[in-house]
Structure 1
Amino acid sequence: MTRSVPDAGVSLPPVAPEVSAAAVESLTTRLRRRLDAAVESVAALPVDIAEDGTYGIRCGEDAWVTLKPGPSGTITSPDQAHCTCLLSPRCLHRAAVLGAGPVADATPSLAEGQPTEPAAPTAPGRPSAEQVRAAGVLWTAAAAVLAAGAAAAGAVPQAELLRAAHTARLAGLHRAESAALGVVRRVRDARGPQGAHRAHRPDELVAALCELLLVTHRLRAADPDPGLIGGVPHNHRPDGPLRLYGVCREPVVGPGGTGGVVTHLVDGTGRWYTLRDAGPGGPARARRAGTAHVAVRSFLSDHERLSRGGLVVTGAVVAPDGRLLAEPGVRATFAAGGPWADVVPAAAVPDGTGHAPPLTRCDVEIVAADGEEVLVRVVTAGVPGTGPTVRLAPAHRHPALAHTANLRRLGACPGLRIRVLGRVDPDRATTLRPLAVGPVPGAGSATLRLPGEWRDRVDLGYDLLGDEHFPLEAPCPPPLTAAEDRPVDSPLRRVRDLVELAATGGRRAAAEPARDSDRDGHLALRRAGFATGADLFAALGEVAARRPRDAFGRPVADDRDHYAAQWLATAVYLAATEAALGRGLWHG
């Protein structure tokens, strides 16, 4: 018995990188040209799921593709994918279905009986010759994806990158393999049916490409740093019970129409953890999930109560990114929370388990509304009006969520002092996207007045601020009269635009500034004191536009290595400089 599932929110099973790559490699050149269109068409087809967990997709009158995942729910062997057409297994239907499935994490499960190849032996203190060769193969595949750009990096270059990632795993290069899989996922997000939804996050693609190219560049140069090798990520099991304190709830609206909530928590040392509940439903489900039951075994509470309280977890299982996993043996009980001023740490304690990075916390004084955004001055050393002027922008603008309405209400109360917790906008260092706000301790009547049950915090995506939460009178700050008093994005925005354009649009797109002789951008960077940034900005455009030719003027082999190295140098400079600027702006 089967059930038809045409809902776009239901995904195909994850596919091991080597299985997907092998399916593409088996196609003829003619079929490879048709593969991208076939992958796109698979996304719109209904999926039949049998009671034994087999997935079935009809790709034509005589083509019925079946996927039978192993116990882990992942396709780890070519034998788990079949098609009824005459060309199978070297058929377009099978390759398209495997290419449409999400990329599985590395390292197959031993419970499925899949043998694991031994990693290449590593000489003490440096990578082996096999690892250097594997890094070179991965660099070449990554450079090809960068030159094409996410918009043109279809199934074939993705398959080449997946094959190179598998080679890296066999050589024991776990960090490089993980980075390669991350690039493929970001490229697919940008190219998929929901790519437009994620078009505002090219920074994720840039970060993934930068990590992959940087690691492989250093490895192929035989860099002895053991951190470049990495290790297979494992879930962390604390020795004793975890005592966690709720911080805030964050609505999640993701690609593919997913929606849900993430509740952020911290322990007594400042390490961050998350509880996530996401599924099909988009913003409407994100709104409902804010008061939904928490999916932890034996825990009878909801996300709203947890975000203002806490819990004790015994037998905890923590994913490398800080997610609490509801696995067998995990037990949780509700516990009292604490005042928000004490719970929210000013900075996180880094550790080796890869816990979720902290959110940015600061105290600000509201200056004025600016459309849907709010202009504020950062409070430095506890003195209002002394810090830089920055913006608060809605984390989500969908009307089903309360971010925009709450910021509009805050912007109508100049002089109010609030404590803000949020994320710095990756594209604008002077913009913070707050998730929660609360009163500033010691601010007297110039801060929020919240009911006791809110525990000194407002989840901006769920709670709705009203007149009763504001003081009757608040001192008005001096108005913004000069243009220089307003937040001004760093001239590095030009560098970021070029780096992101290169990652999404490819080498041809990155060459446009050089063709247009963007002298204004170069001079603006130099006038602002970013001489290195100006040189890198100009060099990237020039290298992108350069096309080597022989003595007769004919195009010769593309110098992708040189272009990839120049893009990498620019991206590394950009990330380091923006991080330093952000620390100085938000943390003084």
Structure 2
Amino acid sequence: MSGRPVVSPLVIAEIVSAAPARLRRKLDKQPQIANEWDWNSTTDGWQISTGNETVALEGQVEITDHVRCSCLLSPRCFHVLAVLSVLDIDDAPVDEPTPESSQSHDEETQPEQMEIADAQRDAANQLWKAAASVLAVGLRAAGTLLQAELLRAVHECRCQGLHRLAAAGMRVMQDIRLLRNLDAAFSTDAAHSDLTELLRCGWRIIHSDGTADSEWIGTARRKYEPIANQRLTGLFTEPILTRSGFAGVLTYLMAEDGSLGTISNVRAGTESRIFDAWQTGAEFGQLSTSHEQLNRATVLVQKATRSKDGRLGGGKDCRAVVVDGSGWDTPKVAERWAVPIHEQIERCFQHESHPETHRPAGWDFVFARGVILGGNGEELLFQPSSAAVPLWLTIAQDQSPLMYRTNIVLLSRCQNLPVRCVVRVDLAKPGTASILAISSDPLAEESDCQLKLPEEFRRTVSLGIEELKRGHLTSATRTPTLRNHSFQMETRPDGLEALRRCLRGLLLGGRHAIPTGRLPELTRNVRRLEIQKQPMAASLLGTLARSATASQTDFEGIRFPNDPSPLAETYLAASCYEMSARRHFEQDGWRQLDTQ
């Protein structure tokens, strides 16, 4: 959908609410039909030919007057509904500020506690009820009318300054679209996390005592704070390729205080744009160097800015110049490889508990020194020097234009290769991380297999975008060395599969995912949790089942209660418990890395 306009959530909500019910039901059966129509770009916007009628869009669809159809029912017609349903929704992305706006450093910083106005509480309650209604029927059955209610509530939250809540609502909306369109990008775990975030944030605001922590409110735009004159050392560049149609590169640099910053070049486009961005000049402090050079360079900057999540910005007064440096051998950078891995993992878990916008750049990175024992063509078995057991290093993104797989296959043919590497840990999978960048280890003992890189590499390789050659290795076998190796970390099961299945079932199928015929099975699962000495999990599972199946009978038959809020509250409590317990067991699994 690259190039098509975006549509305001309020426009969709208004047109869907005004459309006849029969048209909404027709769209629910054919949500993607507009993609089959003929789309043509014009000087004034877009024209979509449906065969018999024509829909016209005037630029970005911000008001209902920006969309019209040639049929008599416009804009309350099926053609308009279908076209709007396939447009990307304007989610007010948090972009980097312009050079002029980034100079507003004297604005007041957001206080830690903020007052909650009655209008904000009402907006949060409106979005809570919309989310509860979606949960009651499940994401699969959340039709256009429920989607419109959700979008109207998101718009109201955005107008009232509840930015974190509005962003969570938009993610839930995107999850609904992905699932109903059978898009491969849909993730049940991600959708569960998004809905839990929405309910949790909404509950905090609704039940606040008049004030709330600023992190629950969020910000409309990413805030940039001035930083002192800095010496930044390039670490590596990561290719970015998303299913939503964005591509480019992201370069990580380390400051003298050990914090990480990022400079990006990510725009709408296909995979071919990655290599264009890699060779394009970095947009920072009037630099005239490419990301290909920046990721190995040392940069001196003045009057720059940085956001909480590490994005580096600069206005018209920012100055940056590239100087000679030592790369990964710079003392401050080299210190990161001296920190034991288990300490770095603990720090990752601490950062994970914070909102995404408050996590520093590279919060899930681990700097590891050790030996590649071999590989199976898909993964590398890596023995860190500061850990008792090895790690499996996996492919970060397995997409054809990227070089991760090619490099992993070559490294799989190496035995006892000493390296330094930067990996991104998968906290949900103890013992597993994806490898991002690699370098030879100057402190390692002599080995038959060594990494010998050309001078232009400066001893480091960004594995997603640069290709290792056979000539860069002093020794390698013809085939992967560990084809039949099955080492895995021992992880204790948390015993919460029954609760987890119930939560995922409700998420996708709503109340009907727990039919009365399954109640005996749920009762057995509750009893099993009690025997396992998990009384809280047992209580939550029982309450969740009762809330989902609660019904009332009258002359019209058996019906579910009109207010789904009790179900949403129970779902939220069970989700928070499940996430907390899972994190505890995951953290316990990662502690096996600690040397005895």
- After TM superposition, the score normalised by the length of structure 2 is 0.76
- Corresponding residue number in structure 1 for 2:100: none
Q: Deviations over 1:390-434 (max 9, x none)?
A: 322211223432212322333333433433323333653432122
CA contact (8 A) 1:245 1:309 kept: yes
Give the 3-state SS of the residue equivalent to 2:127 in structure 1.
helix
- Corresponding residue number in structure 2 for 1:360: 365
In 1, Cα distance between equivalents of 2:35 and 2:249:
25
Worse-superposed segment, 269-278 or 229-238: 229-238
Q: Deviations over 1:460-486 (max 9, x none)?
A: 222333444446599xxxx99998x62
In 1, Cα distance between equivalents of 2:525 and 2:298:
50
The structure-2 alpha-carbon separation of the partners of 1:481 and 1:30, relative to structure 1 and needing over 3 Å to count, comes to closer
Give the 3-state SS of the residue equivalent to 1:449 in structure 2.
coil
Q: CA deviation at 1:275?
A: 0.4
- Corresponding residue number in structure 2 for 1:47: 39
- Corresponding residue number in structure 1 for 2:264: 275
CA contact (8 A) 1:244 1:265 kept: yes
**What is the percent sequence identity of the aligned residues?**
27
Q: CA deviation at 1:325?
A: 6.7
- Corresponding residue number in structure 2 for 1:410: 411
Q: Deviations over 1:138-174 (max 9, x none)?
A: 1111122233443333433222111112222344433
CA contact (8 A) 1:439 1:449 kept: yes
Q: Select the residue among 456, 460, 464 that pairs with 2:459.
A: 456
- Corresponding residue number in structure 2 for 1:573: 577
- Corresponding residue number in structure 2 for 1:205: 191
- Corresponding residue number in structure 1 for 2:101: none
Worse-superposed segment, 146-155 or 172-181: 146-155
Whichever residue aligns with residue 34 of structure 2, its letter is: V
Q: Deviations over 1:219-245 (max 9, x none)?
A: 222343232333332452636666543
In 2, Cα distance between equivalents of 1:497 and 1:406:
37
In 2, Cα distance between equivalents of 1:426 and 1:513:
37
Q: Where do 1:364-403 residues align within 5 Å?
A: 364-370=370-376, 372-380=378-386, 386-403=387-404
Q: Deviations over 1:550-574 (max 9, x none)?
A: 4898233266333322332233234
- Corresponding residue number in structure 1 for 2:49: 58
Q: CA deviation at 1:214?
A: 0.2
Whichever residue aligns with residue 183 of structure 1, its letter is: V
- Corresponding residue number in structure 2 for 1:442: 443
- Corresponding residue number in structure 1 for 2:213: 226
CA contact (8 A) 1:316 1:324 kept: yes
Whichever residue aligns with residue 361 of structure 1, its letter is: V
Q: CA deviation at 1:128?
A: 3.5
Q: Deviations over 1:176-230 (max 9, x none)?
A: 222212322333344446x21x24x443323322221101112222343232333
Worse-superposed segment, 160-169 or 267-276: 267-276
In 2, Cα distance between equivalents of 1:318 and 1:93:
45
Query: Which segments of 5 or more consecutive residues in structure 2 lack a partner in the other structure?
Result: 96-112, 337-343
- Corresponding residue number in structure 1 for 2:429: 428
Whichever residue aligns with residue 363 of structure 2, its letter is: P
Q: CA deviation at 1:249?
A: 2.0
CA contact (8 A) 2:544 2:567 kept: no
Give the 3-state SS of the residue equivalent to 1:272 in structure 2.
strand
Query: Which segments of 5 or more consecutive residues in structure 1 lack a partner in the other structure?
Result: 1-7, 70-74, 110-123, 381-385
Q: Select the residue among 78, 100, 112 that pairs with 2:64.
A: 78
The structure-2 alpha-carbon separation of the partners of 1:125 and 1:397, relative to structure 1 and needing over 3 Å to count, comes to closer
The structure-2 alpha-carbon separation of the partners of 1:89 and 1:262, relative to structure 1 and needing over 3 Å to count, comes to same
The structure-2 alpha-carbon separation of the partners of 1:328 and 1:393, relative to structure 1 and needing over 3 Å to count, comes to same
Q: CA deviation at 1:504?
A: 4.4
In 1, Cα distance between equivalents of 2:148 and 2:4:
18
Give the 3-state SS of the residue equivalent to 1:445 in structure 2.
coil
1:153 aligns with 2:155: no
Give the 3-state SS of the residue equivalent to 2:6 in structure 1.
coil
- Corresponding residue number in structure 2 for 1:143: 132
The structure-2 alpha-carbon separation of the partners of 1:490 and 1:49, relative to structure 1 and needing over 3 Å to count, comes to farther
Give the 3-state SS of the residue equivalent to 2:295 in structure 1.
helix
Whichever residue aligns with residue 577 of structure 2, its letter is: Y
Give the 3-state SS of the residue equivalent to 2:239 in structure 1.
strand
Whichever residue aligns with residue 460 of structure 1, its letter is: L
CA contact (8 A) 2:421 2:435 kept: yes
Worse-superposed segment, 22-31 or 202-211: 202-211
- Corresponding residue number in structure 2 for 1:183: 172
In 2, Cα distance between equivalents of 1:513 and 1:480:
46
1:554 aligns with 2:558: yes
- Corresponding residue number in structure 1 for 2:341: none
The structure-2 alpha-carbon separation of the partners of 1:156 and 1:298, relative to structure 1 and needing over 3 Å to count, comes to same
CA contact (8 A) 2:526 2:542 kept: no
Whichever residue aligns with residue 277 of structure 1, its letter is: V
Corresponding pairs, count: 546
The structure-2 alpha-carbon separation of the partners of 1:261 and 1:169, relative to structure 1 and needing over 3 Å to count, comes to closer
Give the 3-state SS of the residue equivalent to 2:558 in structure 1.
coil
- After TM superposition, the score normalised by the length of structure 1 is 0.77
